[in-house]
Amino acid sequence: MPTLNSTKLYGRVALLRRQVLLRQLIRRAIAGALAVAAFTVTAGLATYALFLALRAPFGDLNAALAVAALYLAMAFVLLAYTLREPHSPELEALAEMEAAALETITAETQGVVQLVNTAGHRFENLGGSLTLGVSILGALRRLLAARKP
Summarize pLDDT for 69-92 with one digit per residue, the tens: 988 998 999 899 888 877 778 878
* Closest among 105, 90, 106, 100 to 16, alpha carbons compared: 90
Asked whether the predicted pLDDT for residue 146 surpasses 60, the reply is yes
* φ, ψ of residue 85 in degrees (nearest 5): -80, 135
Indicate the pLDDT class of residue 149, thresholds 50, 70 and 90.
Answer: low
How far is the C-alpha of 11 from the C-alpha of 7, rounded, in Å? 6
Asked whether the predicted pLDDT for residue 1 surpasses 60, the reply is no
Indicate the pLDDT class of residue 104, thresholds 50, 70 and 90.
Answer: confident
